[in-house]
């Protein structure tokens, strides 16, 4: 309960939204002691072009969020560098520990008289550790390519590692080779289904029994043109369902209309029958009255 009470600010506030766009390097280049104070200042009206590590991207995002004019980055607060991390040259490091308290994100691992090293995954490249080092053993190097996706602290180095993904294969048009038809375990005709799905011919898809497709993916696996058949068939099944729903709805509407027509007709006939009966009664009464009056005279 205490944690909930002391949670950093209202999640929906403007300051939080601005802070979410900042790179969280906590470097202080903007003149404020961290990203959140800067966010607060921006919310109160300070210029949005002071963040050097964020660069053009952050500037545009802030301009979009706050509906302010897009200005160019203010280079007096620093130049946007490509992403870099600090690297301690271990042969020169004397273990003095002066870099440890300076790092805003606590990315340097070490203790006095022990070897220091920078946790590259946590380093935001703010350059603050360079100044205190008495032996100049810290270099700024280019950020390594393969970084973990999950970062406990900020969002800055959230590059997705793509080295483990399989290369995408280009999709080419169907060449009607028939391999898909040979492998389908449900004895369907995936080639035909593909052509009809492309042409959106719903009735032919139903005739070819598309709902019986078990989406096993064998047809897609053997296809030499790398067609995304399973995805296409799923979409086609959705079209089929929508079409069936529309038809059912139309049938119901037609039925309701016809019933209503019949009902109105019945009502009209009842009314006119009643009117006729009433008219007849009135006529008789009138006739009686006139004949009575004529008799009176």
Partner 1 sequence: MQLVLLACVPGLFALTWFFGWGHCINLLWACLSAAMLESLAVKLRGRAVLESLSDGSALVTATLLALALPPFCPWWATMLGVGFAILIGKQLFGGLGHNPFNPAMLGYVMLLVSFPQELSVWGAPRGHDGAVPPGFLDTLGIVFLPNQFSPDAWSAATALDVFKFREGLTVSELWQTNHSFGAWGGAGWEWANAAFLAGGLWLLMRHRIFSWHAPLGMLGTITLCSVIFYDGGSSSSLGSPLMHLFSGGTMLAAFFIVTDPVSGAASKQGRLIFGIGVGVLTFVIRSFGGYPDAIAFAVLMMNMAVPLIDLHVKPRVYGTAPKRIVPSQSTVPSTRQPDDDQP
Binding residues for partner 1, per CB under 8 A?
Answer: 173-178, 181-182, 185-189, 191-192, 202-203, 206-209, 211-212, 225, 237, 240-241, 243-245, 247-248, 252, 255-256
Query: Toward partner 1, which CB reaches closer, 117 or 192?
Result: 192
Q: How far is the CB of 193 from partner 1 (least distance, A)?
A: 10
Q: How far is the CB of 267 from partner 1 (least distance, A)?
A: 19
Query: Toward partner 1, which CB reaches closer, 79 or 216?
Result: 216
C-alpha–C-alpha distance, residues 34 and 11, integer Å: 19
Query: Toward partner 1, which CB reaches closer, 158 or 255?
Result: 255
DSSP-assigned letters across all residues of 90-150: TTT-----TTTTT-TT--EE--TTS--EE-TTT-----TTTTT-TT--EEEEEPPS---S-
Query: Toward partner 1, which CB reaches closer, 15 or 210?
Result: 210
Query: Toward partner 1, which CB reaches closer, 38 or 233?
Result: 233
Of 19, 23, 27, nearest to 103 (Cα)? 27
H or E, element range at 74: none
Query: Toward partner 1, which CB reaches closer, 153 or 192?
Result: 192
3-state SS, 256-284, equals HHHHHHHHHHHHHHHHHHHHHHHHHHHHH
Neighbours of 275 (CB within 10 A): 10
Of 40, 43, 37, 74, nearest to 59 (Cα)? 74
C-alpha–C-alpha distance, residues 228 and 212, integer Å: 18
Q: How far is the CB of 220 from partner 1 (least distance, A)?
A: 16
In the three-class reduction of DSSP (H, G, I as helix; E, B as strand; rest coil), residue 215 is classed as coil
Q: How far is the CB of 162 from partner 1 (least distance, A)?
A: 24
Q: How far is the CB of 266 from partner 1 (least distance, A)?
A: 18
Q: How far is the CB of 116 from partner 1 (least distance, A)?
A: 54
How far does the chain reach from its first CA to its final CA, in angstroms? 105
């Amino acid at each position: 309960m205490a944690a909930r009470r002391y949670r950093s600010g209202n999640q929906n506030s403007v300051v939080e939204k601005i802070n979410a766009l900042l790179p969280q390097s906590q470097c202080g280049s903007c003149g404020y002691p961290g990203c959140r104070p800067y966010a607060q200042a921006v919310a109160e009206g300070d210029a949005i072009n002071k963040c050097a590590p964020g660069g053009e991207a952050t500037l545009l995002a802030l301009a979009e969020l706050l509906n302010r004019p897009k200005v160019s980055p203010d280079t007096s607060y620093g130049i946007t560098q490509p992403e870099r991390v600090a690297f301690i040259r271990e042969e020169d490091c004397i273990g003095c520990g002066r870099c440890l308290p300076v790092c805003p994100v606590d990315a340097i691992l070490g203790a006095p008289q022990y070897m220091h090293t920078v946790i590259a995954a946590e380093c935001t490249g703010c350059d603050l550790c360079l100044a205190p080092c008495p032996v100049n053993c810290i270099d700024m190097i280019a950020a390594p390519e393969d970084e973990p996706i999950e970062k406990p602290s900020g969002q800055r180095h959230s590059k997705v590692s793509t080295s483990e993904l399989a290369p995408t294969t280009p999709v080419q048009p169907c060449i009607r080779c028939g391999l898909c038809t040979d492998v389908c375990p449900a004895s369907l005709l995936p080639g035909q289904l593909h052509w009809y799905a492309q042409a959106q011919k719903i009735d032919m898809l139903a005739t070819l029994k598309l709902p019986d497709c078990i989406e096993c993916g064998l047809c897609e696996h053997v296809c030499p043109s790398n067609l995304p058949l399973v995805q296409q068939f799923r979409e086609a099944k959705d079209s089929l369902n929508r079409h069936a729903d529309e038809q059912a709805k139309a049938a119901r509407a037609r039925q309701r209309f016809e019933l209503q027509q019949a009902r109105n007709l019945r009502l009209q006939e009842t009314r006119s029958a009643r009117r006729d009966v009433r008219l007849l009664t009135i006529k008789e009464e009138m006739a009686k009255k006139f004949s009575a009056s004529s008799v009176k005279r």
